[in-house]
């Protein structure tokens, strides 16, 4: 064997050994790491809850005429709620419908007021505390027909805040200008404009109060 051949073999062997060492040590390299923790952090969601009691809204009225008012009571509360509301709205549905709940001008109009203490039953009920006008969508009186389509926010209300109560009186009014039609005999609940006749109308109404959460905010 010549010296040159031996030298080539030595170089080849060294290259193989070097490659194997590179593979061996390359697999052993590590990445420096560290870890830290924070917490634990407990997060819970709130509840929106409204309730009613002492309601006389189910007490009907018969043979009303233009200018009559129908005042009924309901206690609204947020007992059980843990989060505040942005709004509590009032809306209506009519199980039995007529001009009383479809005519925005001559049909029933609703208004609301609250008492600082429970109302004293009567016709109409009386307040021995402080009375406050409760607006519906910013208005003192709104047609039932309007609230069927678009419920309105009641303001001001204590029960927007958890564990607070409002003693409400809701008053339905048949406008004094509601028309009858002397030419119609017997009276029928029908027509429009000059022929409209608000006589002999019957509506069965359901009141719906809906609470909506406050807007999100930094916590």
Q: Is residue 19 over pLDDT 60?
A: no
Does residue 125 form part of some domain?
yes
Does residue 63 form part of some domain?
yes
- pLDDT digit string, tens, across residues 130-184: 999 999 999 999 999 999 999 999 999 999 999 999 999 999 999 999 999 877 7
Does residue 78 form part of some domain?
yes
Does residue 218 form part of some domain?
no
Does residue 104 form part of some domain?
yes
**What's the domain count of the chain?**
1
Q: Is residue 76 over pLDDT 80?
A: yes
The boundaries of the domain holding residue 66 are 51-178+190-212
**Average pLDDT, rounded, for the chain:** 88
What is this structure's pTM? Answer: 0.81
Does residue 22 form part of some domain?
no
Does residue 15 form part of some domain?
no
Q: Is residue 107 over pLDDT 50?
A: yes
DSSP per residue over the chain, as a string?
--HHHHHHHHHHHHHHHHHHHHHHHHTT----------------------EEES--TT----S--TT-EEEEEEEEE-TT--S-EEEEEEEEEEEE--HHHH-TTTS-EEEEEEESSPPBPSSS-B-SS-EEEEEETTBSEEEHHHHHHS-EEEES-GGGSTT-EEEEEEEEE--TT----TT-SS--SB--GGG-B-TT---EEEEEEEEEEPPP---
Does residue 127 form part of some domain?
yes
What is the average pLDDT across 77-86? 93
């Amino acid at each position: 064997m010549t010296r040159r051949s031996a030298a080539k073999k030595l170089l080849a062997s060294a290259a193989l050994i070097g490659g194997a060492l590179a593979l061996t040590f390359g697999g052993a390299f590590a990445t420096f790491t560290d870890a830290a923790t924070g917490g634990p952090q407990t997060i819970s969601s709130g509840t929106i809850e409204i309730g009613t009691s002492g309601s006389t809204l189910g007490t009907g009225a018969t043979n009303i005429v233009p200018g009559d008012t129908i005042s009924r009571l309901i206690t609204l509360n947020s007992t059980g709620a843990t989060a505040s509301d942005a709004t509590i709205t009032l809306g209506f549905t009519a199980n039995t419908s007529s001009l009383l709940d479809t005519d925005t001008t001559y049909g029933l109009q609703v208004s609301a007021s609250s008492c600082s203490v429970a109302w004293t039953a009567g016709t109409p009920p009386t307040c021995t505390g402080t009375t406050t006008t409760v607006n519906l969508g910013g208005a003192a009186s709104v047609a039932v027909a309007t609230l069927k389509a678009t419920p309105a926010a009641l303001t001001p209300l204590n029960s927007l805040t958890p564990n607070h109560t409002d003693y409400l009186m809701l008053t339905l009014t048949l406008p004094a200008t509601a028309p009858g039609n002397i030419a119609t005999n017997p009276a029928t609940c029908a027509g429009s404009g000059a022929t409209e006749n608000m006589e002999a109308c019957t509506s069965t109404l359901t009141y719906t109060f809906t609470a909506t959460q406050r807007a999100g905010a930094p916590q």
